[in-house]
Structure 1
Amino acid sequence: MKRRAFLGAGAAGTLALAGCDAAAPAIEGGFTGIDVARGHAWRDGAGRSSAAPARTQQCEVLIAGGGIAGLAAARALRLQGIEDFALLELEDGAGGNARGGSVGGLACPLGAHYLPVPGDDAHEVQDLLEELGLRQRVAGRWVYDERHLCHSPQERLYFEGQWQEGLLPVHGVGEDTLAQYRLLARQVAALRRAQRFAIPAFRAPWTPELAALEARPFAQWLAQQGLDDPQLLWYLDYCCRDDYGAGIAHVSAWAGLHYFASRHGFHAPGDTQDEDGEREAVFTWPEGNGWLSARLAAPLGDRLRSAHAVTRITELRDGVQVDAWDARAQQTVRWQARRCIVALPAFIAARVVEGAPGWLQAAARHISYAPWLVANAHLRAPLQDRPGAAPSWDNVVFGTQGLGYVDAGHQRLDPSPQATVLSWYRPLGPSRWDGASAREGRQRLFDAPWTHWRDQMLAELSVPHPDLAEKITRMAITRYGHAMAIPTPGLRAHLPQPEEGRPGRLRAGRLAFAHADWSGYSIFEEAFTRGHLAAQAQA
C-alpha cells in the first residue's frame, strides 16, 4: 500500500494524471469560513495591551467560546431561566467546527456533517433532538423523523476499479483477509462483553484494563492480535482519521476500539448477527451539523457577540472579569459577570485564564490537535460514475489521503439531475500515509495556496470521476488549524478528573470548563454534554 504517486503533484501534472481535458473550464475558488488572520492576530497578542478597555459591560454569566459546548451551555442556562448572559465567539458565526455554509447558492457543511442517533448515555443530546422535533414517542417507542436521517444508500468505497457498498473492502479480497475481519469482530465483541463503553465516555467506568489499552498505540495492539492485513489496516486507519484526525499509529488502542465498541461494534462481511448494518443510523443535512448549530444559536439574539476574541479571564473575589478584543470595532471590551463558562479549547484556555490551575496547564501541554481541511466544490451537473454500487451520501476512495466526499444533495427528495456540492475532507494529522507531525501538517495547511488543495482533491476524486474538473464551477476551502484533540496514547492521565459524584463537570472557583477537549477527543455528543453540565454547575 503506497501513497498514490500523483498526490502533491503540480496542477498541470495532476490534471493530466487524473485524465482531465486540457480545455476544462477554470475553477474559481479560495479560502472561506475561518478568519485565519484574526485567529493569528489573537495568538500574536492583539488586544492584550495594558490600555484601558473602551467600554465595560455586565451580565450574570459570561460564556467564552461559541462552539457546540458554548452553545449547549447557553441553551442550558435558558432552560434554567437564566437569561442574563452573553456568549463571546472569535469567528463571525457560532458553531465551531460544526458550522454550515453555501457555495453557488447551495448549502454545504464547513465541518462535521452528521450526528449518529444517540444512545441512552447521551440523554442530553436526546432531549435536544426531541426539542427540535427530530424524535418523538409514539405508542411507547421513540420514533425519529426519517426526513432528517441519512437516506439510502449511505456509503460506498471505490476499490479495485469499481464501487462497492460499505467502506470495508470486500470485493475480491482473499480468505486470509476475511479471516482477519472475523477475528477483529470477535475481539471487539469480547471487549464489549467485558467492559462498558459509553458516549459520552465519562459515563463508563474507567478500569485498569481500559487504562492499559489507552497507554499504547492502536497499531501496536493490532499487531499483537495478529491483525496485519493491508485492507483491514487501511479501513481502521481511515476510521481513526475520520473521528480523531490521526491514524492508528498515533491514537490509543482504547480510542481505536472505542470507535466501534461505543456504537455499532465491528461486523465482518456475512456476519448473521449484524442486524443493524455496519454503520448505525445518522442524522445529516445539506449543511451538515450546521443545521444543529444554527438552531442552537438562533434564540440567542444579541447575546451572541461574534468577532470577539477572549484575551483574559480573571477571577475576582466577588465575580469574574473577562477582556475581549472586538475585531470589528478594533477595541477591547471588558465584561464583568458573576460566573464564567470557559468553553474554549484547552490550549487557549490555558493562555487566557489568569493563574490557570495546574491541571489546565498540564492538559494544554499534552493535547495534540489535528489540522483539518474541508473543500466544498459546486458541480453544475451530476458526475459520470464507475461500475458498481450506486452514488451514496458518503463516497470514499481506497488508498487515498483524503476521506472521500459527501454529497450535500443526497437528502433531496427530487431525483431529477441537478447541481450539487461535494464536500471533500482531508485531515492533516499524523498517519501511516503521512509521517508529518500535527505541527508540520498545520504549517502546510496555512502555507499552501488554495489551488494546492484543489489539485489534491482533483487527483483523488478524478480516478472514479474523470469528468470532475469540467463539472466544478467553484470551490470554497475551510481550514482548521486545531480541528480536534487527538486521543494519543496516555493522554487521559493528563486530563483533569471530574468532580466526585458529578462526572463531566469541571470547575475552578467561579469558572466552569466545557469543551470536548476534556474528553480527549472531539465529537458532538462530548462537547454538547459537557457544555450542558457546565451551565448546570452555574446554578
Structure 2
Amino acid sequence: MAALSGLAVTGGTIAACTGKAKPQVQGKLLGPSFKAGHLLRKGINVVPTETEEQEVVIVGGGASGLAAARWLKKHSDKNILLLELENETGGNSAAGKNEQTAYPWGAHYLPLPNNSFTELLDFLQETNVITGYDAKGLPIYNEYYLCFDPEERLYINNYWQEGLVPRWGVPENDLQQIERFQQLTEELKQAKGIDGKYAFDIPVDHSSADAQYRDLDQLTMLEWLQQHELTSEYLHWYVDYACRDDFGSALAHTSAWAGIHYFASRKAEASNSEPHRILTWPEGNNWLVQRLRESCTDRIRTNAMVYRVGEQDGKVAVDYMDLRTQKYKRILAEQCIMATPQFVNQRLLSALPELLSTRNLQSFEYVPWLVANLTLKDVPHGKGLSLCWDNVIYGSKSLGYVYANHQQVALFPEKKTITFYHALADEAPAAARGKAYGSSYEDWKAVVLQELEKAHPGIQEQVEQLDVWVWGHGMIYPKPGFIWSEDRQQAGAPYQNKLYFAHTDLSGISVFEEAFYRGITAARQLLNTERA
C-alpha cells in the first residue's frame, strides 16, 4: 500500500507487535455517492423528456443550501425546490447511529458565534440553543448543548493533560514561546484595520481590507512563525494541529492569514459561558442541519443528481437524474442557487461557457479526509485526565478522536463510541485523494488502530465495530494567496440575475458559520435582484 500521509501500515502490524492474534474487528468502508460522482465525471448528455417549472431551484442540500432555503422561506413567499444528490441532506455534516448513540461522520461542533453575527444568533434562538438574553444583551446558552466537562485532553509524554496546548513535560523555553504566541494572537484578535473592521472576523468577508493584514495571506503559517522567531517544536505541532483541525491542511502549506484567523477571529461573549466553549451534539453538526431542514422539508427532493445547468427560453434549465427511477428530468426555473462546490460547478455549468470564462474555478482545491467511528466495550484508561469530549495525541498527524457519548446524561453507557478524524494533509490534495480512493477498508482500519494504539495500548481488544468514511473533497484548501484572491471573489458573483452561488468554499474556510453565511448571502442577492 502506498504511503498515506505518513500513516501507512499493513493489516498485521498491530498483532505482530504484541505477539498474539487480535479479535476480528467488523466494519465497512463508506462515503459520499461514488457511483454518482463517477457518472458526473464521465459526463451525461441525455436530454430529458420530462419538464416542469419552478420559481426557485436550489442545487445542493448541504448547510449552505439549507440556509438559503430557510432564508427564502422566512423572508419571501417564493416557491422553492431543493435538489440533493444523496439520500439525505446535510453535506459534510452527515451522521450515523448505533444502538447506544448517534455520532458524526463529519463536522461535529460549533464554537460560540461572534455576537455581531446576529443572523446566526437568531437561528440558534429559534432552535432553543440560545434560551434568551440577559440584562446586558448577552445570549444565554442552553446548558444541554454546551460541551460538558471535561472538554479536552492531550496525550503527551505518556500522560493525559488537560487542554490541547502542550504543557506536560514541556521545557521552559518552549513554554515561553507558546505564551508569546498566545499573546500575539490575542493582540491580533483585538486588532482593527484602517477601515475600522476587525483584522480577523467571522464571516471571513467581514474582516478588514487593510493590506497589513490581508498581505499575510501571501505567507505560509510556518513562515509567519519563523518571522517571529517562534521555533519551538511543541508550538509548531500545536499550530499544525490547529491548521489540520479547521482546514485539513498542514502548517507549512496553510495561508498565514487563515492560520491566524483560527486563533484570532472568535470574539464571542455569553451570559453563562466562557468565550472559548463550544456547542456540540452526539451527532455533531447534523443536529444543526436537521433544524435548517425543518423549514423546507416538503420542498426537498433527494437522490436527485443534477448533471447540467444551462438556459432555455430565458430561464435556468436544471437537468437531473432521479437515481431511484433512473429517469432524466428538466426543471425550468426563474432563478437558481448553486449550493455546490466549485469543482462540481465546473462540470454542471459547462453549458454556460460565458459564465465559466469569467471565473477560475480550477484554483479551488480540496483536502481529502478520513473519519472513522468505533464502537468499543470500553476506552482503555491511562495516566492523567479521564476520557474527554476531545482527545488528541501529541506528535500525531491525526486529529485524535471525539467521544460521541459525551453529551449523554447516562454516566456509564454499556458501550462507547468514538469518532476518529484524520486530514490527509501531507501531500498535494489530488495525490492524497487518489491514494485515499485506492485504499481498502483493511488499509484504513490498520491506520486508525495504529494511531489509537499510541495512546491506548491494546485498544483493538475493546473494538467491536470500526466503520470508515472517506471524504474525497472534504474541505476547501486555504493555500497561500487564495483567501483574498480575485478567484475566490469572482466565483461568488451572481450571473445575469438568474444564477447565484452559495457554498462554504466561497469563503476559503470550511466551517458551519461560513456555510450559513453563504446561504443567506445568496438568498439575499436573489431577493435584492427581485426588488431592484
When normalised by structure 1's length, the TM-score is 0.90
1:476 aligns with 2:479: no
Counterpart residue number, 2:497: 509
Counterpart residue number, 1:254: 257
1:242 aligns with 2:229: no
Displacement of 1:538? 2.2
CA–CA distance in structure 1, aligned partners of residues 525 and 319 of structure 2: 23
Cα 1:352/1:181, change in 2 over 3 Å:
same
Q: 1:446 aligns with which of 428, 437, 458?
A: 437
Displacement of 1:329? 1.6
Q: 1:142 aligns with which of 139, 142, 147?
A: 139
Residue 199 of structure 1 aligns to a residue whose secondary structure is coil
1:466 aligns with 2:463: no
Q: Is the 8 A contact 1:103 1:376 kept in 2?
A: no
Counterpart residue number, 1:43: 41
Displacement of 1:172? 1.1
Extract unaligned runs of 5+ from structure 2. Answer: 193-197, 528-532
1:333 aligns with 2:329: yes
**Per-residue deviation, residues 261-293 of structure 1 (Å, max 9, x unmatched):** 10269xxxxxxxxx987x711111111001111
Answer with 358-367 or 124-133: which moved more.
Answer: 358-367
Counterpart residue number, 1:485: 476
Displacement of 1:104? 4.7
Q: Is the 8 A contact 2:69 2:82 kept in 1?
A: yes
CA–CA distance in structure 1, aligned partners of residues 360 and 149 of structure 2: 41
Displacement of 1:417? 4.2
Counterpart residue number, 2:16: 16
Residue 418 of structure 1 aligns to a residue whose secondary structure is coil
1:173 aligns with 2:194: no
Cα 1:298/1:116, change in 2 over 3 Å:
same
CA–CA distance in structure 2, aligned partners of residues 98 and 343 of structure 1: 15
1:352 aligns with 2:348: yes
Counting aligned pairs with the same residue, the percent is 37
Counterpart residue number, 2:75: 80
Q: 1:101 aligns with which of 93, 96, 99?
A: 96
CA–CA distance in structure 1, aligned partners of residues 307 and 63 of structure 2: 20
1:191 aligns with 2:188: yes
**Per-residue deviation, residues 55-84 of structure 1 (Å, max 9, x unmatched):** 212211000111110000110111024352
Counterpart residue number, 2:60: 65
Displacement of 1:496? 4.6
CA–CA distance in structure 2, aligned partners of residues 352 and 233 of structure 1: 41
Displacement of 1:523? 0.6
Q: Is the 8 A contact 2:240 2:251 kept in 1?
A: yes
Q: 1:410 aligns with which of 406, 412, 418?
A: 406
Counterpart residue number, 1:154: 151
| 1:331-410 map, 5 Å | 331-353=327-349, 354-356=351-353, 362-379=359-376, 381-410=377-406
Displacement of 1:305? 1.2
Q: Is the 8 A contact 1:350 1:361 kept in 2?
A: no
Q: 2:121 aligns with which of 122, 126, 131?
A: 126
CA–CA distance in structure 2, aligned partners of residues 414 and 446 of structure 1: 38
Q: Which AA in structure 2 matches 1:513?
A: F
CA–CA distance in structure 1, aligned partners of residues 354 and 4 of structure 2: 46
Counterpart residue number, 1:209: 212
1:494 aligns with 2:486: yes
What is the count of residue pairs matched by the alignment? Answer: 512
CA–CA distance in structure 2, aligned partners of residues 5 and 366 of structure 1: 23
Cα 1:86/1:146, change in 2 over 3 Å:
same
Q: Is the 8 A contact 2:95 2:283 kept in 1?
A: yes
Counterpart residue number, 1:272: none
**Per-residue deviation, residues 152-179 of structure 1 (Å, max 9, x unmatched):** 1110000010100111110111111011
Residue 152 of structure 1 aligns to a residue whose secondary structure is coil
Cα 1:295/1:189, change in 2 over 3 Å:
closer
1:528 aligns with 2:516: yes
Extract unaligned runs of 5+ from structure 1. Answer: 266-274
Displacement of 1:351? 2.2
Counterpart residue number, 2:195: none
Q: Which AA in structure 2 matches 1:10?
A: T
Displacement of 1:385? 0.8
Residue 410 of structure 1 aligns to a residue whose secondary structure is helix
Displacement of 1:362? 3.8
Residue 173 of structure 1 aligns to a residue whose secondary structure is coil
Cα 1:359/1:525, change in 2 over 3 Å:
farther
CA–CA distance in structure 1, aligned partners of residues 456 and 4 of structure 2: 16
